[in-house]
């Protein structure tokens, strides 16, 4: 972890990282599926603050899960993805 300063309260050396499962619905109507990913979650140890957040690392993991889902459906052509 590069930065240990809480972005909410500004205290130094208060951030801890845990890995938690996130679930979200992807798609529309009858094609909607629940996808899951284990992502890093940053939390401030200060009890008064308690700020929690995810960052670009979680986004990349979620993006990879969506890509894998499309690959399973046979859409492995990367031109179909709106992201790199």
The string of pLDDT tens digits covering residues 31-44 is 889 999 999 999 99
Mean pLDDT of 60-80: 78
pLDDT at 1: 44
- The answer to whether 38 touches 57, Cβ cutoff 8 Å, is no
pLDDT at 10: 92
pLDDT at 61: 96
The pLDDT confidence band at residue 13, using thresholds 50, 70 and 90, is confident
- Please give the model's pTM, rounded to 2 decimal places: 0.75
**CA dist., res. 62 & res. 40, Å (int):** 11
pLDDT at 76: 60
């Amino acid at each position: 972890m590069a930065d240990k300063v809480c972005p909410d309260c500004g205290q130094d050396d208060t951030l801890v990282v845990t890995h938690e499962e996130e679930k979200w619905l992807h798609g529309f109507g009858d094609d909607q599926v629940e996808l899951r990913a284990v992502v890093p979650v940053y939390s401030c140890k200060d009890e008064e603050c308690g700020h929690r957040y995810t960052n670009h690392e979680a986004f990349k993991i979620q993006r990879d899960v969506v890509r894998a889902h499309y690959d399973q459906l046979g859409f492995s052509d990367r031109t179909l993805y709106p992201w790199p």
